[in-house]
Amino acid sequence: MPNPLDDRAVYTFDDLKSWEVKRPGLPPSLAVLGHPVAHSVSPQMHNAALAELAKKYPQLKDWRYFKFDVFPEQLPLTLELLQQKGFRGVNLTVPHKTDSAVLAFADLHTKKLQAVNTLVREGQNWLGSNSDGYGFIQSLHRDLGVNLRDGPEIVIMGVGGAARSVVIACLEEGCGKVWVGNRTPEKLQNFVEQFNRMKPASHLHTLEAFKLAAPPTEKWAKNALVINATSLGLQSGDPSPLNVSLLGPQVKVFDLIYHRQGATALVAAARARKLSAADGLGMLIWQGAKSLTLWIKALEGIEIKPEDITQTMMNAACGELAISPPRNV
Ligand code: NAP
């Protein structure tokens, strides 16, 4: 079993089976489940925030956050074991967010999204929610100065779980028209069909779909917000999902992906054209901070808001990603 104080340690399903519950009552552990998950900086972010909070709230002293590499077929039993071993909260990352094993725990709002990234222990059960949309909205506002209540048109590339969280959040905030593009036409068609079920009843705007290979950039609003929610850009050397030279000077660009090595191809190309552009690191921090507040909300005498811990989380993430100086959040 790896050293529990090593934030880079990656645990397995077998480690969980032999996980020792030493303390009386429920040991305050948290976990992220993914496959692969080694690249995740969530343990660094959460353990730094917990250490900082423990100075004021000693009841958080022993809390630790661990990462587990779990295969999809191991997920149902992993969730059961995490309950038995007294874990208080779980994050889900690729490919588990849309797995039926976690969707079974989704609260009403999250059911609509069909993507869960946070499980909170509720007695013998889990309650599933999704903090990605919240993280996106916070970062968008702070990193790009965009307020969706002003009704900007949004263009979203990708139709996976992250795209769904982002679109719902944009609609709920009051964005204007939505364009959505994807590589695989069948999945794009499914998304279009889901859209009317997902959108808030009050939202009047419609959705227009496009092929990712042929984006109708000339039809997009001058001040559109263009969002990459595809996985294209995750690998270093990946090309930009969009030819940025087709965009007008007032377009703003948000890439959900962030890189250890610096800007993604999309963000680098946008900045080279002097467009406002942000990557996904701010979103990662805000969604993580939101999840942590949900897990410790039930503790008596502790009241924290995401903004109380975001800078500590950002410093820890930048330290691990070797981004110097750490970014402000
Ligand atoms: P997902 O459910 O697997 O969806 C992936 C999407 O990317 C699909 O629309 C897929 O299109 C598209 N795609 C994959 N490879 C592509 C390629 N080579 N060219 C064009 N499109 C491609 O993943 P997800 O959970 O939605 O995550 C999407 C991205 O958002 C990931 O990169 C993830 O790291 C990032 N993310 C970041 C944060 C954050 O906090 N910053 C949070 C959540 C997610 P097809 O339908 O054609 O396969």
Residue 225 belongs to domain with CATH number:
3.40.50.720
**Could you give the C-alpha distances from 199 to 45, 167, 169, 228, 263, in angstroms and in order?**
32, 9, 10, 20, 32
pLDDT at 20: 81
DSSP string of 98-141?
T-HHHHTTB-HHHHHHT---EEEEETTEEEEE--HHHHHHHHHH
pLDDT at 25: 61
Reported as a single tens digit per residue, the pLDDT across 219-247 is 999 999 999 999 999 888 899 999 999 99
Mean pLDDT, to the nearest integer, of 151-172? 94
Residue 271 and residue 306 in one domain: no
Residue 291 and residue 236 in one domain: no
Please, what sign has the CA dihedral across residues 18, 19, 22, 25? negative
Residue 81 and residue 148 in one domain: no
Residue 115 and residue 144 in one domain: no
How many Å lie between the centroid of ligand 1 and the Cα of residue 230?
Answer: 3
Residue 68 has pLDDT above 70, yes or no: yes
Mean pLDDT, to the nearest integer, of 109-138? 95
Residues with CB under 6 A from ligand 1: 94, 97, 132, 135, 158-163, 182-184, 187, 212, 229-232, 234, 241, 256-258, 280, 283-284, 287
Q: What is the chain's mean pLDDT, rounded?
A: 93
Give the chain's domain count.
2
Q: CB-based burial of residue 196 (10 Å sphere; 0-12 exposed, 13-18 middle, 19+ buried)? A: exposed
Residue 83 and residue 61 in one domain: yes
Reported as a single tens digit per residue, the pLDDT across 2-57 is 777 899 999 999 999 999 876 556 668 999 999 999 999 999 999 999 999 999 99
Give, for ligand 1, the residue of 180, 231, 260 to mutate: max count of ligand atoms closer than 8 Å to Cβ.
231
| Nearest residue (CA) to ligand 1, atom 17 | 232
Residue 293 and residue 259 in one domain: no
Residue 260 has pLDDT above 90, yes or no: no
Structure tokens, 158: 């990708």
pLDDT at 128: 98
Q: Considering the entire predicted model, what is its pTM?
A: 0.95
| Nearest residue (CA) to ligand 1, atom 37 | 256
On whether residue 126 sits in a domain, the answer given is yes
> Domain of 252?
133-279
Residue 267 CA to its chain's centroid (Å): 18
